[in-house]
């Protein structure tokens, strides 16, 4: 049966949906950064930098790894790092994604410097999120490390609210971001040796994958 929509109308419909989703997404990000004390212009600059930076992975070092047969991931463990299976030759390059990993980490340093959070608050909150991320994450052969996408931000938001007081939003962002980097990335390097992936990128394959999403959602919920 012929579709009642012409290709042009279908294109316009898809374009409008994309624009609406983009506006909502930018609005949500702007609200989150506003809670962190960042101006709308600063929020858009960080967003744009993260989008551009998501295309760049900076290699850090290589490790020897075992080849594993590809196993489709459970729907529960999608969303933190790698999604596409690529050819593997016995070495895994550990890299950091500029948009999804490096920029959120540098922004954490900025928040630490310009907020009056104590080292006890920072250490305790980050430790809690790190532990949760470590036990919630799982190695997925042929893909990388997977973790239910809202575990880290919800944990960070609750932790930030209980420990951070009036500074719950920046504490949630910091602990959420650092907790994912440490718990689901750094502490899982030994598991990466057994997964047969050519590249393991801290920060994921896309801007809103994993670490970036964790920080934004945690700040919104805190």
pLDDT of 75-101, one tens digit each?
544 444 444 445 556 677 888 888 888
Strands 91-97 and 199-202, by their bridges, are: parallel
pLDDT score for 87: 58
CB atoms within 10 A of CB 68: 16
pTM (two decimals): 0.75
Q: Whole-angstrom Cα distance, residue 80 to residue 140?
A: 11
Q: Which residue has the higher pLDDT, 20 or 116?
A: 116
Average confidence (pLDDT) over 159-163: 92
| pLDDT digits 0-9 by tens, 175-220 | 999 998 898 888 888 877 776 667 777 876 543 456 777 777 777 7
Cα separation, 35 vs 3, in Å, equals: 46
Q: Where are the domains positioned within the chain?
A: 7-221
Between CA 208 and CA 219 the distance in angstroms is 14
- Are 146 and 73 contacting, i.e. CB atoms less than 8 angstroms apart? yes
Q: CA 27, CA 44: separation in Å to the nearest integer? A: 10
Phi, psi angles (nearest 5°) of residue 60: -105, -55
């Amino acid at each position: 049966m012929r579709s009642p929509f012409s290709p042009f109308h279908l294109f316009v419909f898809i374009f409008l949906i994309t624009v609406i989703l983009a506006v909502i997404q930018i609005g949500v990000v702007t609200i989150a950064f506003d809670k962190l004390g960042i101006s709308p212009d600063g929020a858009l600059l960080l967003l744009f930098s993260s989008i551009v930076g998501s295309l760049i992975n900076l290699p850090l070092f290589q490790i020897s790894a075992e080849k594993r047969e590809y196993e489709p991931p459970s729907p529960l463990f999608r969303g933190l790092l790698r999604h596409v299976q690529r050819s593997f030759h016995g070495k895994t390059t550990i890299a950091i994604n500029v948009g999804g990993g490096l920029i959120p980490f540098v922004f954490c340093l900025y928040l630490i410097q310009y907020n009056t959070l104590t080292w006890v608050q920072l250490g305790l909150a980050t430790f809690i999120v790190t532990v949760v991320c470590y036990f919630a994450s799982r190695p997925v052969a042929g893909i990388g490390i997977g973790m239910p996408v809202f575990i880290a931000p919800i944990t960070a938001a609750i932790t930030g609210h209980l420990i951070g007081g009036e500074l719950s939003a920046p504490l949630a962002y910091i602990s959420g971001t650092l907790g994912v980097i440490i718990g689901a990335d750094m502490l899982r390097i030994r598991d990466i040796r057994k997964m047969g992936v050519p590249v393991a990128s801290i920060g994921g394959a896309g801007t809103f994958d994993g670490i970036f999403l964790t920080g934004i959602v945690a700040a919104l919920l805190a």
